[in-house]
Amino acid sequence: MNERNINRSEEYWLAKARAGRIPVHVGIIMDGNGRWAQRRGLKRHEGHRAGVQTINRCLPAVIKLGIRHCTLFVFSTENWKRPQEEIQFLFGLITDYCRKHKDELIEHGVQVIPIGRWKQLPASAVRSIESVVRDTSEGSRLKLYLAINYGGRQEILDAAARLAKRLVSKGQAGFDGITQEDFADCLYTRGIPDPDLIIRTSGEKRISNFLLWQGAYSELVFTDVLWPDFEPVDLYKAVVEYSSRSRRFGDVTDRRG
């Protein structure tokens, strides 16, 4: 397909997506970097590097759609099991992304907010994240949550501990009357709307410990496209699919929005 046809296809799917429901919050499990590299005879590092370029390509598309919140699964608590060389490369990518693309994020009105146990990363990565958080704090078009050293189960455990400490500090002896809102207020995502749509690339059909509490009623869209090959048109198609679904949240009537 030539460039003109690609642009025409993007325009078609963007218009189709805009004509339907736009999710307020989209979560993305960016999967397939390693396989992308392997199929090209490259090292896994090159797949991760290409995956960063996909982020740069797709963030403007997220903003074009009017999506206000986006969470990217950057580094999971399970990723520590990978070879040390690969882990160090990923930390370097996080550091480079925060430094090299800060001005671009500011220009697009993106506010970066990390979630997870990201402060346990090496000091250089933590400093880079803190810097981009500080410098993008005025961004008002898109809140971009980077799930770094994040795991859904760990988040729930941390929230339970935080809630227990809160109750003890108030002198509350029992747990009767605790609401879902009380618990959600102790999550990493406090004050953030739950994701309407979660997209996973690479053909895998699981959520892999991503936003377990928050994704209870999220619509799930799985695509065979590997993350480094993911284009704005793939995002638009996922939003079109989301828009076509009926969301009942356990009710019998479709609840729009």
Euclidean distance between CA atoms 185 and 171, whole angstroms: 19
Cβ atoms < 10 Å from Cβ of 84 = 8
Is 56 an active-site residue? no
Residue 73, amino acid: F
Decide: 108 and 144 in contact? Cβ < 8 Å.
no
Q: Which two tokens stand for residue 146?
A: 């980077």
Of the residues 2, 7, 33, 79, only one is catalytic, namely 79
What kind and span of H or E run contains 200?
A: strand 197-200
Of 31, 33, 149, 196, the active-site residue reads 31
Residue 249: count other Cβ atoms within 10 Å of its Cβ: 9
Look up 224 and say whether it is catalytic. Answer: no
Amino acid identity, position 38: Q
Q: Which residues are part of the catalytic machinery?
A: 31, 79
